[in-house]
Structure 1
Amino acid sequence: MVQKCKLSNKQRSRFTTVSLRSSLCKVGVIMALFDQSADGYDSWCKTKSGSFVDDLEKNLMKEVAQPKMGEKALDLGCGTGIYSYWLNKQGLAVTGIDISSGMLNVAKSKHGAENIEFLQGYIEHLPFKDETFDLIISNIVLEFTENPKEVVKEAMRVLKRGGRLVIGFISKDSSWGKMYEEKGKKDANSVFASANFFGVEDINGLHQLQPYKMKFGLFFSMNEFADKNNAMEIEEERRQLKVNSNAGYIVARWDK
């Protein structure tokens, strides 16, 4: 039988301080890794396979998020601004927030940066009033956060009534999730070394509200990519089979 122990106020305070320091230490390590990779972060999207994956993910994100011209949008963990610019080109007023100064410097250096507000800050503690945004998106970001539930909670706080929170995930059970997990194990300096990937059950457990909808994509593995036409044939064929556990990418949407 396990005995329950009661912590004094002093012990509880010390425990909280140690936990906070541990959390901040991990955040600092992850931030440093992203700072180091900032300059080359966009380069993969310019390769044949990378541009195909980027387009596929954006198409799924658009289908689920349904961005509308004139809406006020927040890009959580905006990185180099890939999705911030994508939303802005569709006529949305966009704010991007990220903890990595290196990533933000790259984002701010791009053409059209004057149309987007980029902020440095913790996405677990957003510097915005309640019900500020019509649409909040975050693509492959929660994998690198210390407390993903807190991120979702904060996002729902600053989301307007009737707004949409849309998050893209790498599926942990897919060939993509396993590939990135293996990269993290082999290279301690990889951004994937501290990543935690998600399955459908994990996503359902992020908030008391269940996602309004989920969409699945990336049904081909990286080593199957020969060219865009070949990859699309595989993608469409396997998507029709609806074996969602094989999908490498999941987009989930919560409505408020």
Structure 2
Amino acid sequence: MIKSIEFNEHVAEYEEWFEKYPFVFKSEVEAIRDFLPVGDAMYGLEVGAGTGRFSKELGLKEGIEPSKKMRLVAIERGLELMPGDAEHLPFKDLHYDFVLMIFCISYFNNLGASFAEAKRVLKNGGSLIVGFIDKESIIGKAYERRKPFSVFYKQANFYTPEKVIEELKKKGFRNLQFSQTLFHDLDQIKELEPAKPGYGEGSFVLIKAIK
């Protein structure tokens, strides 16, 4: 993953974003929740868990996060986060029922290697769930314009769904499913925006792929 110094030094600003856009966050969480495998015994991992907001809402306990200060906030929220990066997951083979990657793929040094690592730690039949901002969407285009001036986006690589699909298929993932939400500019989202299947309309895209 790309160096995490910006996140390490701007934890407060990162946390403030969630307070500023509560219905954006809620819409994302509910879309992810709909994609999670069902069952009390399901065992999941979040890669690039940040301060743990998504894991906390979704009931996950384990994850990795390279930024020390963000990891400490997540630990205070009751999560069990380890240092590490997506290209070298510190976990054994065939260990998890699902792996969650939410927004973090924009900060990976090597997208394909990260997907390969997720596949390695997944059980056979397990799910990789990838959530990201579509580069060609309303919000994606706004983020691209802000890259030169943004603490968080200047190192980010935003992707189209087609590119993510291509990389997943290269690593042998199958049975891809798609969901999308966030159909307006960030400042216009004042209520929950329910997810719907597919991609190409919503700015936040989820892809669920099976090992």
TM-score normalised to structure 2 length:
0.90
C-alpha contact 2:134 2:140 (8 A) present in aligned 1: yes
| Residue of 95, 105, 121 corresponding to 2:62 | 95
Instruction: Return closer, same or farther for 1:70/1:86 CA change in 2, 3 Å cut-off.
Output: farther
C-alpha contact 1:126 1:154 (8 A) present in aligned 2: yes
1:72-110 Cα deviation digits (max 9, x unpaired): 11010011011221232xxx5x21101111110111122
1:37-96 Cα deviation digits (max 9, x unpaired): 11332222223xx110111111111112234323211010011011221232xxx5x211
Q: What pairs with 1:23-38 in structure 2 (closer than 5 Å)?
A: 27-28=2-3, 31-38=4-11
Instruction: Return closer, same or farther for 1:71/1:223 CA change in 2, 3 Å cut-off.
Output: closer
1:143 and 2:106 matched: yes
Q: Where does residue 12 of structure 1 map in the other structure?
A: none
| Residue of 46, 51, 55 corresponding to 2:22 | 51
C-alpha contact 1:45 1:54 (8 A) present in aligned 2: yes
Q: Which has the higher contact order (CA 8 A, sep 6+)?
A: 2
Unaligned runs of at least 5 residues, structure 2 = none
Q: What amino acid maps onto 1:250 in structure 2? A: V
Q: What is the CA–CA distance in structure 1 between the aligned matches of 2:93 and 2:6, rounded to whole Å?
A: 31
C-alpha contact 1:204 1:211 (8 A) present in aligned 2: no
1:243 Cα offset (Å): 8.6
| Residue of 166, 176, 179 corresponding to 1:215 | 179
1:170 and 2:133 matched: yes
Q: What amino acid maps onto 1:56 in structure 2? A: S
Q: Secondary structure at the match of 1:71?
A: coil
| Residue of 145, 164, 172 corresponding to 1:203 | 164
Instruction: Return closer, same or farther for 1:245/1:206 CA change in 2, 3 Å cut-off.
Output: same
1:106 and 2:106 matched: no
1:74 and 2:20 matched: no
Q: Secondary structure at the match of 2:136?
A: coil
Instruction: Return closer, same or farther for 1:79/1:120 CA change in 2, 3 Å cut-off.
Output: same
Q: Normalized per residue, which structure has more helix? A: 1
Larger Rg: 1
Q: Runs ≥4 in structure 1, deviation > 3 angstroms?
A: none
Instruction: Return closer, same or farther for 1:100/1:67 CA change in 2, 3 Å cut-off.
Output: farther
Q: What amino acid maps onto 2:2 in structure 1? A: V
Percent identity over paired residues: 27
RMSD: 2.1
Unaligned runs of at least 5 residues, structure 1 = 1-25
Q: What is the CA–CA distance in structure 2 between the aligned matches of 1:102 and 1:73, rounded to whole Å?
A: 23
C-alpha contact 1:137 1:166 (8 A) present in aligned 2: yes
TM-score normalised to structure 1 length:
0.75
Instruction: Return closer, same or farther for 1:224/1:243 CA change in 2, 3 Å cut-off.
Output: farther
